[in-house]
Chain A
Amino acid sequence: MMASRTDRGPVIDFDRFRPTRSSIRARKRKDRLMTVLIGLSFLVALIPLVSVLWVSLSKGVRRLTPDFLTHNMSGVVGGNPTPTGGYGGILHAVIGTLEITFGSMVISIPVGVMCAVYLVEYAHGGRLAKAISLMVDVMSGIPSIVAGLFAFSMFALVVGPGTVNGLAGSVALSLLMLPTVVKTSEDMLAVVPNDLREAAYALGVTKQRTITSIVLRTALPGIVSGTILAVARVIGETAPLLIASGFIATTNPNLFSGRMTTLPVFVYNEYSQGLAVCGPSADPGCLTDIHMQRAWAAALVLILIVLLLNLLGRLVSRIFAVGRTH
């Protein structure tokens, strides 16, 4: 077939560009191949990921009794049952996890949100702001164990050598949380329409009240759900807490003094104890694999907490989503 407009440029023989049967077939083949590969990559990834969840669930659910959730590990000896018929539990670790995580939230959320406020509302891309956002990026690359080393050395220098307590863990975790909090808050503040700020200013509202009552309030759902996700991430940190907060078998409610066990540390500690000794004089209920049972059960609780936080984050952002009617 020939193009008609000979006067206006080259004549094109479109047959030369006509796809051959084989090229069409090749394209179809490639398309199908990629579809298969993409589907396959999904299936391949599914195997380990589902395995992780399934193993944690199936192995963890065995020891996940009410007793396990309401007792700590004090007085638990090896694989022997305790007077209440359980085999010790994670109450102290749950309390420790909550307190240390709460501590890190108390440190990092105000600082992170205020830092984002500075970046979005005050700095207008100045030198300091550029430096800060670069540093926030750098901070998000701090390896968790380095954060632990930092908290440990800081408390050693500031409070006294050998200081190991919940607060040190909180400091380490807040270091890991801060960049996420800053980034999500920054993003959320940035999408608050300028219209709203102007509307408030036009009413004669001061900048601070505009920011707190309008901007932050509007961005709140996003900030909250972003922060919850950040919490879900640090709540599973192990290495820094091993160094900064130590391990203890009893419940220590005091964040500011004394060692504190968290769930991940508990999991790791149980794992690293291997088999329990059930000697000839041991209780008939003595379980040699009690450590692994406790490790998996605690891991399951940890996953459940993370899951809960995730759902909570989604819920918060959905319920308080701005712009929805009713």
Chain B
Amino acid sequence: MSEKPDETATLHQAKRVDRIFKACATGAGILILLALAAVTLFLILRAFPAFTGDPDSRTQAIRSLSGGRASSFLGYVGPLVFGTILIAGLALLLAFPVSLGIALFIGYYAPARLSTLLSTVIDLLAAVPSVIYGLWGALVLVPNITGFWRWLSVHLGWIPLFSGPVAAPARSVATVALVLAVMILPIITSVTRDILIQAPRLQQEAALALGATKWEMIRLAVLPFGRSGIISASMLGLGRALGETMAVLMILSPGLSYSLRLLQASTSQTIAANIAAQFPEADSQGVALLVATGLVLFIITFIVNYLARRITAKAGA
């Protein structure tokens, strides 16, 4: 082999750089693990005082944070978990069919030009900051939707979900869920669309060739293909709704109960909004408590993510 000495030297150096680069890449991977461990660790450390120390002062702190409505951590965090899941779940329930509809509209009904335009708009809306949805919800939606909720309550009030008295102004769970639905709608739509338009052409043509109508074609060849993707898109939206802070904070009239009466005020609160609302005035014991609720939220989103992973893994297999 022909080797000049300087070439051996550069090769030597290249090999060292090679090793360093690999170490960096591995390090970056491990850093991710460490970062997550650090998040958990710091949160636990910060939440620790909420569970240790004098039980009286603990109870005192909880009573102070909850305005006397709860006196134990579980009594405090329970309704918050309920409210978080209720609101996010409702938002998903409202947004999901509509997102699916829009995704189908973009992918299969709209003329090509319109659908590229729509796609762009949806992508933009998916990135609109939540504080703007909050602003819009609080200043535009709330004053204008009370009448609709009232109408709903008059006609469907026999269902406990819609029983009155209707909150006026409508700072109720229903309104917040609606705003969150509007917020996650573009996110779910955008992901769902990306998946649905990849549905194999072959099966669509097969369906049509059998004499299927457009909707039957979608049912036969598009939806089954996109199922797992649609689920993971919804989970993405659900995750966003679970963690949403500003929109809830700016709109909802909070409460700490296990009420399902969506149109009434002061029934529920979400963990994230509660942290943002109480953090500014919290003393150190209070901060510990709030961080502990944050940890609970983290666990909830973790579970949602994990389930989504399982579902998509199963459906994909």
Contacts and interface: CB of A to CB of B under 8 A. Distances in A.
A121 B28 CA distance: 13
Interface in A233-277: 233, 235-239, 242-243, 264, 267-268, 271
A136 B32 contact: yes
Contacts of B216: 27, 31
Interface stretch (A65-73, A137-145, A317-325): A137-145
A95 interface: no
A118 B123 contact: no
A122 B43 contact: no
A141 B136 contact: no
Contact of A141 (B272, B276, B304): B304
Nearest to B21: A208
A220 interface: no
Contacts of B33: 131-132, 135
B275 A42 contact: no
A156 B42 CA distance: 10
Nearest to A233: B127
A49 B183 CA distance: 9
Contacts of A62: none
A160 B22 CA distance: 35
Contacts of B291: 149, 153
B26 A145 contact: no
A41 B109 CA distance: 12
Nearest to B122: A49
A42 B124 contact: no
A45 B29 contact: no
B102 A45 contact: yes
Given A207-B22, A238-B245, A267-B131, A153 B185 contact: no
A242 B250 CA distance: 14
Contacts of B154: none
Contacts, number: 260
A101 interface: no
A52 B125 contact: yes
A145 B287 CA distance: 13
Interface stretch (A10-18, A32-40, A75-83, A190-198): A32-40
B246 A118 contact: no
Interface stretch (B52-60, B70-78, B293-301): B293-301
B139 A111 contact: no
Nearest to B179: A48
Contact of B305 (A37, A39, A131, A138): A138
Interface stretch (B11-19, B166-174, B198-206, B261-269): B11-19
B311 to A, nearest CB: 13
B140 A55 contact: yes
B243 A143 contact: yes
A118 B32 CA distance: 11
A150 interface: yes
A139 B32 contact: yes
Nearest to B290: A149
B165 interface: no
B293 to A, nearest CB: 10
A226 B189 CA distance: 18
A129 B26 CA distance: 9
B22 to A, nearest CB: 6
A138 B185 CA distance: 22
Contacts of A52: 125, 128, 132-133, 136, 182
Nearest to A19: B211
Given A39-B105, A52-B132, A153 B18 contact: no
A214 interface: no
Given A115-B31, A149-B275, A267-B131, A41 B213 contact: no
Interface in A260-313: 264, 267-268, 271, 292, 295-296, 299, 302-303, 306-307, 309-310
Interface of A: 27-28, 30-31, 34-35, 37-42, 44-45, 48-49, 51-53, 55-56, 110-115, 117-119, 121-123, 128-129, 131-132, 134-147, 149-150, 153-154, 156-157, 175, 178, 182, 206-209, 211-212, 229, 232-233, 235-239, 242-243, 264, 267-268, 271, 292, 295-296, 299, 302-303, 306-307, 309-310, 314
18 contacts: A38-B101, A41-B100, A44-B98, A55-B139, A55-B140, A128-B30, A134-B309, A137-B309, A141-B243, A141-B305, A143-B294, A154-B38, A208-B21, A233-B127, A242-B276, A267-B135, A299-B131, A299-B132
